[in-house]
Structure 1
């Protein structure tokens, strides 16, 4: 019975190993000088071997302990707010009287609010605002500002917004009544400027292409050659002629489908369609594009083919934010279709981590297993055999339990 139990245990462990698929690629990280958080760049070379959702990346230390990280990706378009301070032309304070603040709006841009950056206070103030184009003759804008609750519970300063009718004066004068309490500590005055910024990308290297023009089909076929799969978020074409063009283009990628009898066949399906125009930059966003077999078709209709000088794919800058220690050797493991995205406690403390972190780049990327090793490994790589083994283990365990109960019942009381 003990021998049979040992056989069952070995069989069960074999099944577990079969399910625990290994990562197929690894990259080393350079040593860090000090303890702290770092941004680990996910380069196009690493991205070539990860899943489309980047879920199969793991970070390990020298003892092969998994290190938590936060995944950060540049957005295609990011909206940011910047506080832009106005020039303070005059700032005077008369004890028991008024504080006078004169600001300059040099471009005479149209504004309807001013933000005051104040040191925390819990006093109540009355204030008025006027405007001028020469800083001598003033015209009223607001005369009943009621300033109160001028403090923040999370910081030592607070931004207080003063709204007023839309105007374009060059100068604005704020008068604060200090007759009942000490003056406010005004650090600066300005406005929040909202602007959009394009995300940052890294060029995917070593993607070559060849162009074939078909007069019969009235199409141009562009075939790509790349040593590794391409994970790209943007595609940009450099076209030198003709002078004027307006063409529809479609990007096709290989897809593998299964028929009813489980036979796999390859087909090319459209993954992106866009328009090439002579009056704009021909750069296009791709949605989760990753392929090692793809081509581009341009519909020329009756126009001459395009002269394409260069085609470049780009990967959106992606980072792993992780705490690293001096003296430890770290590496990334990736390339495992079976794993799910990790869930770390670190995600709940994202706001506590500085945005300005040093960046390190993985080196010495290497494959841990041959791409077709899966086909020539043990019998436990076949899912049908794995499930048959599991059922066999369950059956044998049931038989052992039955025999054990019988033997126990035969023992003398």
Structure 2
């Protein structure tokens, strides 16, 4: 009986050691609390992203029992925007020019709902304000949009075009576009569509510092954005206070690494996206998500007055973990391991079987995982007094032997 008890204790200690070894490969752990079902979900808090690798490969869920360690499979769901654009068939049934007023009438033969029209003109430079109306029988017209601005600019500095009309869902048989222009429009065609969109879910990232400067030699404005912590970024908007029209090309970059120099830290940047800041659309830009703390916007001013950028807003997609818990255990979310590879779980291929409604669980405080300290070999003499004492005794002994040998000769 005693032998069996010792064996069981030895096995338990062995399993515990293996579990601790697995978790010990990571830097931080958080207890997962409130597990009651097989499937649960939780949102990764912003502080997690300060510790994880760039590709999020080092996220694991471990369950600890007295006899075993369980790795719980999970899916990482990033709450990106989703939209399906459905083209709607139509016919251009009427084109009318009355002095400097221009009309285009479209017929949608089916009872389709739509919310967007993209106009295409051969003209390279124009600035028109459009009225969009809808009707069922072409006798009574109802205003959908008024003074919707469309324009195109093409010169040595700028190549910009905005000819899209966005409006709430509408269902008419006929749509009429009208605008006033002394320039003869050269209409090429249009695309009419329904944009079915599910908005992204974002976390707003606090900006710690926003600093703008001018490079007069390159005729550029450099906007430095420092976030309060490293976080996933996929959205940036700029609040520009100028009340005049402007169209400035720009590139958005992020610092992917840094080097310490005698003059301080030097940051190396990579380009995330390019675009045009303008006074027509909202200056909001989405791009592929990236973990970053520093952003830089380079604006091409050319010979124009620099823009007055009052504020900026940075956001990142919400990251949801959906996990399967198959046994009773004390579960932990662990992360922070440069050597970890992306996990390969079966549930990636069977995600259709995951319940649509999941109970959210909560995470405990972040706890650093202690590392096993390597045993250091202590020096033979840690106190210099004893070192000098031994050296003195050694010299006396050697001196005594030397004198004795000389006396014998």
Taking structure 2 as the reference length, the TM-score comes to: 0.51
Paired position in structure 2 for 1:229: 230
Residue ranges of structure 2 left out of the alignment (5+ in a row)? 1-19, 87-107, 113-135, 137-171, 174-193, 260-265, 377-409
Quote the residue 1:208 is aligned against. Answer: 209
Shift of residue 199, structure 1, vs aligned partner: 2.1
SS of structure 2 residue aligned to 1:47: helix
The alpha-carbon distance between structure 1 residues 65 and 18, as it changes in their structure 2 partners (threshold 3 A), is: closer
**Equivalent in the alignment of 2:346:** 345
Contact kept in structure 2, 1:48 and 1:231, CA below 8 Å:
no
Shift of 1:282: 1.6
**Does 193-202 or 233-242 show the bigger shift?**
193-202
Which residue of 1 is the match for residue 71 of structure 2? 66
Superposed CA deviations along residues 95-152 of structure 1, whole A, max 9, x for unmatched, are xxxxxxxxxxxxx98249xxxxxxxxxxxxxxxxxxxx9xxxxxxxxxxxxxxxxxxx
Tell me the residue number matched to 2:53: 51
Hey, what does 2:198 align to over in structure 1?
197
The residue aligned with 1:76 is 81
For 1:295, the equivalent position in structure 2 comes to 296
Shift of 1:41: 0.9
Q: Any idea what SS the aligned residue of 1:340 has?
A: coil
| 1:80–1:197 Cα contact (<8 Å) kept | no
Kept after mapping to 1: 8 A contact 2:27/2:368: yes
Offset of residue 45 of structure 1: 2.5
Q: Deviations over 1:175-208 (max 9, x none)?
A: xxxxxxxxxxxxxxxxxx9823232222123543
Instruction: Please state which structure has a larger fraction of its residues in strand.
Output: 2
* Distance of aligned partners of 1:361 and 1:213 in 2 relative to their CA distance in 1, 3 Å threshold: farther
Task: Give 3-state SS (helix, strand or coil) of 1:364's partner.
Answer: coil
Contact 2:207 2:313 in 1 (8 A): no
Higher relative contact order (CA 8 A, sep 6+): 1
- 1:277-292, aligned counterparts within 5 Å? 277-292=278-293
Q: 1:309 to 1:355 in 2, by over 3 A?
A: farther
Match of 1:22 among 21, 25, 41: 25
Supply the RMSD in Å over aligned alpha carbons.
4.1
Q: For 1:255 and 1:318, how far apart are their aligned partners in 2?
A: 21
What is the deviation of 1:248?
A: 1.7
Distance across 2 between alignment mates of 1:207 and 1:230: 13
Q: Hey, what's the Cα distance between the residues in 1 that align with 2:364 and 2:205?
A: 16
Query: How far off is 1:51 after superposition?
Result: 2.8
Structure 1 residue aligned with 2:44: 42
CA distance in 2, matches of 1:322, 1:310: 38
**Alpha-carbon spacing, 1:255–1:353, altered in 2? closer, same or farther (3 Å):** closer
Alignment of 1:156-171 (within 5 A): none
Look up the match of 1:101: none
Q: Output aligned runs, 1:74-223, within 5 Å.
A: 74-79=79-84, 110-111=110-111, 195-223=196-224
The TM-score normalised by the length of structure 1 is: 0.51
Partner Cα separation in structure 2 for residue 20 and residue 61 of structure 1: 10
TM-superposed CA distance for 1:53, in Å, is: 2.8
